[in-house]
Amino acid sequence: MEKILNKINQLAKEIKKDVTLMEVCGTHTEAIAKHGLKKILPPNIKLISGPGCPVCVTEQRDIDNIIELALQGIPVVTYGDMLKVPGNKMSLEQSIRHGAKVFTVYSTEEIFTNPVIKPLNKGLVFFGIGFDTTTPMTASIIKKGITVYSTHKNFFPAMKALIVNQKIKIDGFINPGHVSAIIGLKHYQQLKLSQVIAGFEPEDVLMAILMLLKQIKDGQKKVENQYQRVVTNQGNVQAQKLINEVFEIKTVYWRGFGPIPDSGYELRKKYQQFDAKIKYRKILTGLKIKPSPKLKLCRCGEVIKGLIDPADCRLFSKSCQPENPIGPCMVSREGACNVKYRFK
């Protein structure tokens, strides 16, 4: 690691100008903070966090919708991070106190094996969240007849949206390892920017930074794969086929971004009988929820675009803490606010 760091320092001196690199994976954000990598980099090399936390980028309307379904007596199953995400009314966790049936799983397979959840299969809704990494698992349960409210997102279009945003200066991306294991390299090649797909050990991240600095010094804008032990050029073809069979690409809303074209996975017509957005359209259509004053103050949308540091939000570590989060960036372990709070 010391050799890599020495080479980084040398390249930083040769480049001379300030360089901003964005990691777009929440696991990278946590690894960088956990190992104190920002502190050991040269002063002209800056790391900022992007929209790598799927919980954080989920649109507020979707969160309010799934809470409403739970309050209407429909059993809801989801991953644990979603429990504490505040809605304008309340969180899913708080809805349980109002009689809602909400269950968390680590894997979608638990829907069929958990003795409490299994009897509810025909009437439950799975709240599907995540990027390309978790989308195949949701696709598999849809094929088995489980109703899903999908907020799954195709990650690559968000990177394009970041590049065209004139307020954000990004010299290079540390690309997500998990997502890349599914989608491969071909999509990234459309971006005219320095990029390196990286693993999650501190040495992986530092090597990715070194590779990016070499590209920047040489004036190159290409995608390289540091994470070759997991990520292949073509990605996981079987997972891609499963996603494409069940889902189609649509324009969807991201927190902080608004609508991003071709960035969401919605159920194909063939599987619409299992689409909660259609099945429970009468409940969700015209649903009016008064905006929460606290949520209006949350700056999570700016954090996930790299426009501000979590500490720039006046709620951070004061009224907004992991035990009492105001916004989703403080809820998820992959959220930039949660990471900064835990690792100071």
Encode pLDDT of 231-268 as tens digits. Answer: 999 999 999 999 999 999 999 999 999 999 999 999 99
Domains of the chain: 1-295 (3.40.50.11750), 296-343 (no CATH)
Q: Write down the pLDDT at residue 110.
A: 97
Closest listed residue to residue 204, CA positions, set 228, 222, 173: 228
Q: What is the DSSP letter of 58?
A: B
Residue 288: the pLDDT is: 85
Three-state SS for 77? strand
Half-sphere exposure (CA, 13 Å, Cβ side) for 299? Answer: 14
Q: Of 10, 4, 81, which is closest to residue 35 (Cα–Cα)?
A: 4
Tens-digit pLDDT profile for residues 272-320: 999 999 999 999 998 888 888 889 999 999 999 999 999 999 999 999 9
Q: What does the angle CA 278 – CA 150 – CA 81 come to, to the nearest 5 degrees?
A: 135
What are the CA-CA distances from residue 36 to residues 18, 28, 33, 68, 262 (Å)?
A: 20, 12, 5, 41, 36
For 185-194, what is each residue's pLDDT tens digit?
999 999 999 9
Q: What is the pLDDT of residue 164?
A: 87
In the predicted model, what is the mean pLDDT of residues 39-68?
96
* pLDDT at residue number 286: 80
Residue 28 has pLDDT above 90, yes or no: yes
- List pLDDT tens digits, range 6-27: 999 999 999 989 999 999 999 9
**What is the model's pTM?**
0.94
- pLDDT at position 279 is 97
